Structure 1
Amino acid sequence: MAMSAVARDTVFALRRQIAKIEGTLPERLEASAAGSIVDATRSDRTIVRRGLAVASADAFLHTGIGRLDAALGGGLPKAALSEIHGLETRDAGAVAGFALSLVSLVLREKQGLPILWVGTAEIFHEAGFPYARGLHALFGIEPEQLLFSEAPKLLDALWIAEEAARMTAFAAVILEIRGSPQRLDLTATRRLHARAQNAGRPLLLLRQAGEADPTAAPVRLIVSAAAAASRETVAGPLAGSIGRPAFKLDIGKSRTALPGQFTLEWNPNEHAFAERTENSVAVVPASGRGADPAPAPGAVLAFPAPASPAVTSPAACDQPSRQQHPAHRGPRRAG
């Protein structure tokens, strides 16, 4: 049955409003002469096929890794909320380093503009602040370009980030949240996403040690630290050295819904990513001063079982209990 003009306009208006909130573009429909609904095919219109919007290449921040950009449907959206997730507290340094790498790519187009980093006092007390000298050396970001806003409560941090996201005076806004607070729900993230869309600026949501809760962010990247390879020299890899910073990246959510796992290295000289394809890298190099490995054991002798159950084996006594392990093992960012 043919759809009336009023009903068609109403449906299209609702689709546009929903798409504006969720970060996708509505499907353009027009009625044919027979009254049926067909997809528009003119080049000046945006078509949605299989739920994905065909957007221009300028709408995405390209990471420079073709396989990653293709899996994300073109790259990270420039005017949107993007979630960078660290599953554990010890991943805070890797999450922050990856976010600053993305900001370095953003600053190629928006040179001279500052970046605002919003977080609660708990976040900065737990993970610390980025090292000022490292900002310029690794990412090409001047220390005075990175502004910090420490809020006493999460509600205040959300309000500051929401107001900052609507401003075009910032090249990007970073909001760092710890855990899975109830206030960081779909409503709050939709507001952040809408503000970033209207301003045409990226808003990066960094999450520490939280669950992968539903958010309005079109992209969720799960980041952790990867083992650094050896430093490259003219004579080859330098044994025992530490090379470029590396990140292990998993796509948790994207416009294409395609899974993927990547190991990326950040080149501080060229300010660009490079994908590492080798299977493994030694985390701890072999000691150059240690003695030879212990020889293989000799004959194995069978001893009778202890008479009393109270007697325990030496191996069991040597193992510390769970209560003896330190409660906090995560490294902190340099203050």
Structure 2
Amino acid sequence: MATSAVARDVVFALRQKIAKIEGTLPELLVSPSDNRPTTGVLVRRNGIASARDVFLPTGVEGLDEALGGGLPKAALTEIHGTETRNAGAAAGLALCLVSRMLKERSRPQDLLLWVGTAEIFREAGLPYAPGLDRFFGIPAGSLLLAEAPKPADVLWIAEEAARIEEIAAIVVELRGNPRNVDLTATRRLHRRAQDSGRPVFLLRQSAEPEPTAAPVRLVAAPAPASLRHTLAGPLSGSIGPPAISVEIGKSRTALPGKFILEWNPDARTLEERRHSPEDRVAVVSASRGRADPQAAAGTVVAFRPAAEPAPGGQPPREQHPAHRRPRRTG
């Protein structure tokens, strides 16, 4: 019995050291020798315990379950767009998460800082303030934009801004895989987010996955919109809410998952698509090499029917170009 108790204490001490290295609330670990209740504590598969209120639920049950309760509120979260054309989807996902967090906080004085390099703003464009207010409930007066010439300057701005109490969230947008955005730099940014108690979202446009200190990495890509649903069923020819394909690239639970999420701008909620694939709006034409359906014959106006070709493969007289006919004289 004594040997078993000592072994449990040794394991608990090792878990505390691991939690300190990873920065995951080691004080919430319950000692085996204590009889304290574990209500309000979520224990993950790797043995690290975290309080439930430190997570930001996305509102999608399957995604929250795979992430172990949701996204960490005070941490660095990566959102990857593997291609440049996916920049809008990655930025849209970050705005959805920020909107849900601001809705939960309900503090009108909260500010959102969006910082990036001049290169990424030229390539992907600047956030459109009227659109943020209409679709995400983020007023134009709550948006702060910062542009820096180099990725190192962007990281410095984000780290210093995390100290400001009025800033509720920070979005860092970078392109590619800069050499100075490494494990050390992201660990420093992650630690600053933990100390300040606010989330920092790192948008990586056209980037390859690499080791970072972010506990969660989401890969975002645009998804085809579905038909708008009414009481009578899908509305033919309509376009439903914007959709984003989200894949879990890295998380504490190490559980895989891929979801199609739709954003409801009125309720400011994310919902998982559960409609049938037939409801989706086509985004590309049919592949080549397949038999195309016969087009319905329509009425041709203001044009005469084409005449039958003359024998010998020559066009009829009335189809010869006018410049080849003899000019009139006199």
Q: TM-score, normalised by structure 2?
A: 0.76
Distance change (3 Å), C-alpha of 1:64 and 1:214: same
- Are the aligned partners of 1:80 and 1:194 in contact in 2 as well (CA < 8 Å)? yes
**SS where residue 270 of structure 2 aligns?**
strand
Unaligned ranges ≥5, structure 1:
31-37, 296-335
Corresponding residue for 1:86? 81
One of 264, 269, 284 as aligned partner of 2:266: 269
Higher share in helix: 2
How much does 1:86 deviate?
Answer: 0.7
**SS where residue 223 of structure 1 aligns?**
strand
- Are the aligned partners of 1:95 and 1:206 in contact in 2 as well (CA < 8 Å)? yes
Letter of the 1:283 counterpart: A
CA RMSD of aligned residues (A): 2.9
Corresponding residue for 2:168? 171
One of 148, 151, 158 as aligned partner of 2:148: 151
Runs of 4+ with deviation above 4 angstroms? 14-18, 27-30, 38-41, 44-50
Letter of the 2:49 counterpart: V
2:126 is the alignment partner of 1:129: yes
Corresponding residue for 1:282? 281
Corresponding residue for 1:73? 68
Q: TM-score, normalised by structure 1?
A: 0.75
Question: Residues 161-240 of structure 1 correspond to what in structure 2 (within 5 A)?
Answer: 161-240=158-237
One of 91, 107, 115 as aligned partner of 2:102: 107
Letter of the 1:88 counterpart: E
2:40 is the alignment partner of 1:43: no
2:237 is the alignment partner of 1:243: no
**SS where residue 19 of structure 1 aligns?**
helix
Letter of the 2:36 counterpart: R
Letter of the 1:176 counterpart: E
Identity of aligned residues (%): 56
Unaligned ranges ≥5, structure 2:
287-291, 296-330
Distance change (3 Å), C-alpha of 1:224 and 1:39: farther
How many residues align? The count is: 279
Question: Residues 44-59 of structure 1 correspond to what in structure 2 (within 5 A)?
Answer: 50-59=45-54
Give me the whole-angstrom Cα distance separating, in 2, the residues matched to 1:284 and 1:199. 43
How much does 1:44 deviate?
Answer: 6.6
- Are the aligned partners of 1:240 and 1:285 in contact in 2 as well (CA < 8 Å)? no
2:134 is the alignment partner of 1:140: no
One of 90, 93, 108 as aligned partner of 1:95: 90
- Are the aligned partners of 1:40 and 1:47 in contact in 2 as well (CA < 8 Å)? no
